[in-house]
Every structure is written in C-alpha cells, then in structure tokens.
C-alpha cells in the first residue's frame, strides 16, 4: 500500500490527467441518461414522425437549415430556443426530435426542453449527417 501511495505522490500529474479523462468519459456516457433525453437513430426518428406525429426541431444556424433540413422541421436556432420556447409549448405531449448537424448542439436543447416540461424529448444521434448517411430525404424549401 505504501508503494502505491508513493507512486501516486511521485506521479501526481499522471494521476490527475487520468482522473480528468475518466470523469470526461463517465460524463459522456451518463449525461444523456441523466438528462432525460433519449438518443435515437434516423430510422427510429422516421418511425416516431410517421406513427406518432413527432415534432422535429432543428437547432442549427440559418444557413445550415436552408442548405437542407428534415421535411416539416421547425427551425429554432439553439441560441434562441429559450426565448422562443413558447412556440413549442402546445406540443408538450408529442414526441419532440431535436436535430443539429452532428447531435452535439441538440443535446443542450434537450435539457432546455425537459426543464420546460416536455415529456418525450429525443436527440437524433449523428444529426443531419446521420440522416443523410441513411439516405433519408432533406428539403431545401423555406
């Protein structure tokens, strides 16, 4: 035990880096679970849209949205979501699918919706890139 403690004392920088990396890994796996936002694949999103009339909310920038978006998606850029949340409140019981380019920007949007009482919040894993990779259609209509 003394040797182990001596190692920790001698290699404190290495130990600190290990702890930080471990914390980041744990956070990356637990954050989606603890937030109440479910990660879904593009095919699951299609099923929710078709079977349960899920609302798709695209949180990308204006330019990204106009370059191609999921048909009938509502565009609310992430930086305006808090201010424009009232545009979605009539849909609190419907499934809401959040979309961005890769699935990272839509994660905090999911936490925002959960905080405002939305019950069924989903994050499209891989975002629009995964949607395109699955050969699903995008619209360029405004």
Annotated catalytic residue, options 100, 121, 128, 130 = 100
CA angle 16, 20, 23 (to 5 degrees): 135
Question: Is 134 a catalytic site residue?
Answer: no
Note the Cα 7 to chain centre separation in Å. Answer: 40
The DSSP H or E segment spanning 16 is helix 12-35
Report the distance separating Cα 7 and Cα 3, nearest Å.
6
Please, which residues have CB within 8 angstroms of residue 1's CB and are 6 or more apart in sequence? none
Catalytic positions are 100
């Amino acid at each position: 035990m003394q040797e182990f403690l001596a190692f920790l004392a001698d290699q404190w920088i290495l130990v600190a880096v290990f702890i930080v990396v471990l914390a980041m890994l744990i956070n990356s796996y637990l954050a989606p679970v603890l937030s109440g936002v479910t990660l879904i694949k593009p095919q699951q999103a299609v099923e929710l849209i078709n079977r349960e009339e899920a609302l798709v909310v695209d949180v990308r920038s204006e330019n990204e949205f106009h370059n191609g978006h999921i048909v009938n998606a509502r565009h609310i850029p992430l930086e305006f979501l808090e201010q424009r949340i009232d545009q979605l409140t009539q849909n609190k019981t419907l499934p809401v699918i959040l979309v961005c380019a890769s699935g990272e920007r839509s994660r905090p949007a999911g936490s925002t919706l959960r905080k405002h009482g939305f019950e069924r919040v989903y994050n499209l894993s891989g975002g629009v890139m995964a949607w395109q990779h699955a050969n699903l259609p995008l619209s360029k209509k405004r």
